[in-house]
Structure 1
Amino acid sequence: MLYLISGASRAGKTIVAKKLSVQKGISYLSLDWLVMGFTNGIPEYGLHDMLFPDEIAKRFWSFFKSMVESMLWSDIDYIIEGEAILPELIIELLEKHPNKLKICFLGFTNVVVSQKVKEIKQFSCEKNDWLTEKTDDYIKDHVKNMISHSKKIKTSCKKNNLKYFDVSKNFNDVIDDAIAYFKG
């Protein structure tokens, strides 16, 4: 089984992946690592970390689809998390492999931008967190972009009958709900 966790930046994808990894005893892969590989390793491909998530997902799709199909063929259990998956694209693989993939999307459509910025700054204490060096204005713009992205994802999930978790309120409880979804 492949467990796929996608959605907006700062919606808790990595938290879900890490907790699920421990609980299920399987490894996880962050798509951010692959995107940075494209950004720094093969810039001529035109896929880089400064694009909006939907653009990254569209440019990344043929690579990601082939990678997932290879993993499914190998019949391994794995968790993959990252922004570079869109509901309208992944539905193709879900229809082709209905019992081998489980996916959910996370986002935040209804947050107070200043509060989300405060939370990001409070919980971005990891030394390698890419937002720790950014200005408040940069983070505000990022949050506004992710609200917009979350709304698109939520709409697409509804249209494609995919699971969407909104972490706008009760963040930790919603994260627990997403983990329970994968375990259930």
Structure 2
Amino acid sequence: MERVIDRLNQAFTDYYIIYNSNISVGAIRIQRKENNIYRVGPVFIFPNCYLYEKLGYRRTGKVKRAREYKDVIIRRRVAVVIILISGNSCTGKTLMAQTLLEKYKIPYFSIDLLKMGLYRGISDCGFTPLDNNEVIGDKLWPIIKGIIMTSIENKQSLIVEGCYLFPHYLKEIEIMYPGEIISVFLGFTNKYINEKFTSIINNRNAIETRGYQEERTINDFVNEHNEFRIICQEAKVKYFEIDQDYEEDIKMIYDYIEDKIKIDV
């Protein structure tokens, strides 16, 4: 206790109280050095304020005994990452986003919700749900881009999924934020569609319930995936295809994200 009092009385040291909603929740120590140099000392904070989490740190699960009466919780800084998941409908984009949320604790944003929110909330939003993906994508991309930019500026990782993300949009955002965008484009081979068409339709409600019947035929699916494959190949983006077993083939995408992501799990 005497040592603590001595530190409090040091002429070159100041302590600042940290408040949360007018309640003192901790303190920070600032030491004045020579030549207008300051040293930030320990930050004392009550654990229920989640200050470190708000600053982008996550617990590693390790605890270090500093003194007989004091444990130090080890945290590491989490890098900001934006994961973009695109592909034709019924390829499992929402399921992948949900799986990544549960693993990495990164929230995800469904572009379908944005689309329907604008359509139902604004009388003249510039599109209808029946318009083709390119028309809707061009209308929504400026908003999605703004969400991505704000997430990065706020140091908030985010997963964005939807069939309205096209490769040429990706090129635009990657130039602005190199190294912070992880994108995957997902599709099916013609072989997989022909052999697993019934399974594809049956699994379309794996995460969200779609209250309408699927009217597209096998040929419609094949043509859509062929067109999307060509777009991705010409743009030279990371394109993955499910060819035989969905559960086995999808692992290559999760492995790819695992290698690219910069976060503690």
Q: Compared with structure 1, are the counterparts of its residues 181 and 41 closer, same or farther at alpha carbon in structure 2 (3 Å cutoff)?
A: same
The correspondence of residues 1-184 of structure 1 with structure 2, limited to 5 A, is 1-111=81-191, 115-124=195-204, 129-130=209-210, 133-134=212-213, 138-140=215-217, 144-184=219-259
Judge which range, 47-56 or 27-36, deviates more. Answer: 47-56
Report the equivalent of 2:45. none
User: Does the 8 Å contact 1:35/1:47 carry over to 2?
Assistant: no
SS in 2 for 1:44: coil
Q: Compared with structure 1, are the counterparts of its residues 155 and 126 closer, same or farther at alpha carbon in structure 2 (3 Å cutoff)?
A: closer
Q: CA deviation at 1:152?
A: 3.0
Scaled by the length of structure 2, the TM-score of the pair is 0.61
User: Does the 8 Å contact 1:9/1:146 carry over to 2?
Assistant: no
Q: Compared with structure 1, are the counterparts of its residues 126 and 112 closer, same or farther at alpha carbon in structure 2 (3 Å cutoff)?
A: closer
User: Does the 8 Å contact 1:109/1:166 carry over to 2?
Assistant: yes
* Structure richer in strand, relative to its length: 2
User: Does the 8 Å contact 2:95/2:207 carry over to 1?
Assistant: no
The aligned length equals 179
Q: Compared with structure 1, are the counterparts of its residues 133 and 114 closer, same or farther at alpha carbon in structure 2 (3 Å cutoff)?
A: farther
Amino-acid identity (%)? 24
Structure 1: segments with no counterpart, 5+ residues = none
Specify which structure has the bigger relative contact order, considering alpha-carbon pairs within 8 angstroms and separated by 6 or more residues.
Answer: 1
User: Does the 8 Å contact 1:16/1:178 carry over to 2?
Assistant: no
Q: CA deviation at 1:38?
A: 1.6
Larger Rg belongs to: 2
Q: Compared with structure 1, are the counterparts of its residues 108 and 55 closer, same or farther at alpha carbon in structure 2 (3 Å cutoff)?
A: farther
Rounded to whole Å, the distance in 2 between the matches of 1:74 and 1:155 is 35
Rounded to whole Å, the distance in 1 between the matches of 2:101 and 2:136 is 25
Q: Deviations over 1:66-121 (max 9, x none)?
A: 22111121111111111110001211101221111110101124146565441134
* Structure richer in helix, relative to its length: 1
Q: CA deviation at 1:128?
A: 5.1
Structure 2: segments with no counterpart, 5+ residues = 1-80, 260-265
